Amino acid sequence: MTELGATRTAPAAGVVPTGALPSFIEWGPVFAGAVLAAALSFVLLTFGTAIGLSATSPWPNSGLPARVIASLAIFWIMAQQIGTFMAGGYVAGRLRSRWHEPAQDEVAFRDGLHGGLVWAVGIVIGAALLMATAGAVARTGAELTGKAAVAAAASTTNPMDLVFDTMLRPAAAASPRAPGQPTDDPRPQMSRILTSAVASGSLSGPNRTYLAQLIAQRAGIPQEEAAKRVDEALSAAREAADKARRAAILTGLVTAISLLVAFAAAWWAAIKGGEHRDNAVPARFAFGRQLRPRT
């Protein structure tokens, strides 16, 4: 953009003059690269999910260990995000019309900026697709879980139910119900008490005594043993909450790091696409080709 009263330099061949476009940003190449990146990401995630399910097995000593599967899943998520945004950034840089930029550094910056915009628009598209398909994915996962866990088909979806079953388990396999024993289900109340204890960090004395009395009455065991079960259940609940916290932290860190690396990859690929555009390099799936000198 020349200053007022300055003489405009004639643009070189194949270069779009400054006044030909209303803005330095061309949204056509940006959206083209973002849609391509989102589509590739969806395909690769679907492929990775299929491979992950094929590597697991409900049978003992079959399939890969859970740690190996988790590590492969993290690697695949990072690789597909970086790779797809590289492809989208390259397309945006290759399709962008070059202006009459005064310096090569400015050309590289504007090409890279279009790659960064591909990254931003691609994240928005990916978030929209995730929200649109979340219900279908959840239903599919629930069906697969139900088929794999036939023995637990009659259980509820509350992860604390196993803890409550352990707490309320009778001392004998066929322990008769005591006369006058209440028949209502105590699990909801027990769940609220344990959830509050995990959130606050401690179980109050009255609540501990109440749970021990309830378990002793329901399971037909001494109150000392019932109090021991309460302590074990509280420890299990805290461990489950801590595992969920660590999993959420790891997921957040992996997502943030992979997206930041993907941003840098999209920027770099857009610059390479601009170089190939200016040097009329045929589009190939390789960035290492020697570029011809600019004319």
pLDDT-above-90 percentage for the chain: 17
Is the separation of the CB atoms in 116 and 263 below 8 Å?
Answer: yes
7: closest CA among 21, 18, 15, 16? 18
> Over the stretch 177-218, which tens digit does the pLDDT of each residue have?
444 455 567 778 788 888 888 888 888 888 888 888 888 888
Q: What is the mean pLDDT of the chain?
A: 75
Residue 165, pLDDT score? 57
Query: Is the per-residue pLDDT at 7 higher than 50?
Result: no
More confident of the two residues 168 and 240: 240
Is the separation of the CB atoms in 219 and 226 below 8 Å?
Answer: yes
> Over the stretch 229-257, which tens digit does the pLDDT of each residue have?
888 888 888 888 888 888 889 888 888 89
> Per-residue b/e over 7-43, b at no fewer than 16 CB within 10 Å?
eeeeeeeebeeeeeeeeeebeebbbbbbbbbbbbbbe
Structure tokens at 48: 């990775």
Query: Is the per-residue pLDDT at 18 higher than 80?
Result: no
Structure tokens at 205: 């004395």
Residue 62, pLDDT score? 72
> Over the stretch 68-116, which tens digit does the pLDDT of each residue have?
888 888 888 889 889 999 999 999 999 988 776 678 888 899 999 999 9
Q: Band of the pLDDT at 61, cuts 50, 70, 90?
A: confident
Q: Band of the pLDDT at 8, cuts 50, 70, 90?
A: very low
Instruction: Classify residue 252 as exposed, middle or buried by CB count within 10 Å of its CB (0-12, 13-18, 19+).
Output: exposed
Residue 166 CB coordination number (10 Å): 14
